[in-house]
């Protein structure tokens, strides 16, 4: 069976790597299933505090594998349509894997990031890209309503009007445009610089108290989906459950002793 991903670990940082370079990292049903399982494994790994999502080959991903998708074209019967609905749920579960992982996920994008690729990185916490990266909500041009999360997440990241333009036209947009919209937060000169910057940022996050970092991610998503006042109530309950903790005491002690803190997630 083909491995669509590979995992590399450096200290408390894990690299989740799209690994179908000869197929432009296109997404198959095996890809979706493996993405879910890898996301759960990284979430459960106590040594992992931050994840970088990157890709091998010339591009991040060309999106859905259209050959694999052609297997979904059925006879239009009720059983077929119910089966299709369930397949869409599987796809959505995979595209939501970065968001459901408690550890912060940084997307490092080079080359093209098309269709399902935009679904996937929209569910990441931070997005970085090379200056030559190109993005597209391509589904519209294929007669498909994007159903992997882009239409739900992208408007919250860049605003409704901009998201509507990109989704309704399906046009390519550049890394510079993505930066100006706030879709990506940093641009890097080339792929080497991109991976170095992603690692630097992941290390910075991984050196902070892990339970607090996970709490910040959880609270950001909860507030996004539920609003300000429910979010305030939620974070009050979150801190009531977390405070005090050993990492907090370590942070204070390290400050007083003028040394670097050592956080253990306790």
CATH H-level superfamily of 5-206: 2-enoyl-CoA Hydratase; Chain A, domain 1 (3.90.226.10)
Instruction: Record the pTM.
Output: 0.93
Cis peptide leading into 232, omega within 30 of 0? no
Rounded alpha-carbon distances, angstroms, from residue 90 to 40, 94, 146, 154, 197: 15, 6, 14, 20, 32
- Quote the distance between the C-alpha of residue 80 and its chain's center: 31
Rounded alpha-carbon distances, angstroms, from residue 83 to 54, 71, 95: 31, 12, 19
Alpha-carbon torsion (145, 58, 21, 158), positive or negative: negative
The tally of CA atoms less than 13 A away on the side-chain side of residue 200 is 9
Residues 175-199: tens digit of each pLDDT: 999 999 999 999 999 999 999 999 9
Domains of the chain, residue spans = 5-206, 210-256
Q: At 256, is the pLDDT very low, low, confident or very high (cuts 50, 70, 90)?
A: confident
Segment 253-259 shows an average pLDDT of 85
Nearest to 98 by CA among 112, 111, 108, 87: 108
Side by side, which strands form the sheet with 134-136?
A: 112-114, 134-136, 172-174
Does 155 score more than 90 pLDDT? yes
Between CA 126 and CA 217 the distance in angstroms is: 11
Asked if residue 199 lies in contact with residue 10, where contact means CB atoms within 8 angstroms, the answer is: yes
Does 70 score more than 80 pLDDT? no
Q: Report pLDDT for 72.
A: 67
Burial class of residue 36 (count of CB atoms within 10 Å of its CB; 0-12, 13-18, 19+): middle
Segment 227-232 shows an average pLDDT of 92
Does 24 score more than 80 pLDDT? yes
**Least confident piece of the model among 71-80, 139-148, 218-227:** 71-80
Q: Report pLDDT for 1.
A: 58
Q: Report pLDDT for 150.
A: 97
Q: Which residue has the tokens 């550049």?
A: 174
Asked if residue 127 lies in contact with residue 109, where contact means CB atoms within 8 angstroms, the answer is: yes
Q: At 222, is the pLDDT very low, low, confident or very high (cuts 50, 70, 90)?
A: very high
Does 2 score more than 80 pLDDT? no
Nearest to 221 by CA among 100, 46, 40, 119: 100
Q: Report pLDDT for 147.
A: 92
Segment 34-61 shows an average pLDDT of 97
């Amino acid at each position: 069976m083909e491995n669509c991903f590979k995992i590399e670990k450096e200290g408390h940082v894990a690299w989740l790597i799209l690994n179908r370079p000869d197929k432009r990292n296109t997404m198959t049903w095996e890809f979706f299933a493996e993405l879910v399982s890898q996301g759960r494994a990284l979430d459960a790994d106590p040594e992992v505090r931050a994840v970088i999502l990157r890709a091998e080959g010339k591009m991040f991903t060309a999106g859905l594998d259209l050959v694999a998708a052609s297997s979904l074209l059925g006879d239009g019967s009720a059983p077929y349509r119910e089966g299709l609905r369930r397949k869409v749920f599987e796809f959505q579960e995979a595209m939501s894997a970065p968001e459901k992982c408690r550890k912060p996920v940084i997307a490092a994008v080079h080359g093209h990031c098309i269709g399902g690729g935009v679904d996937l990185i929209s569910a990441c916490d931070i997005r970085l890209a090379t200056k030559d990266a190109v993005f597209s909500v391509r589904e519209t041009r294929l007669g498909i309503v994007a159903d992997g999360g882009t239409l739900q997440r992208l408007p919250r990241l860049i605003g409704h009007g901009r998201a509507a333009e990109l989704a309704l036209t399906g046009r390519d947009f550049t890394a510079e445009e993505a930066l100006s919209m706030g879709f990506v937060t940093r641009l890097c000169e080339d792929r080497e610089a991109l991976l170095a910057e992603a690692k630097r940022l992941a290390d910075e996050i991984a050196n902070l108290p892990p339970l607090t970092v996970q709490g910040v991610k959880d609270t950001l998503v909860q507030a996004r989906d539920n609003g300000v006042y429910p979010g305030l109530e939620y974070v009050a309950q979150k801190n009531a459950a977390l405070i005090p903790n050993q990492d907090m005491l370590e942070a204070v002690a390290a400050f007083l002793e003028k040394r670097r803190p050592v956080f253990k997630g306790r």
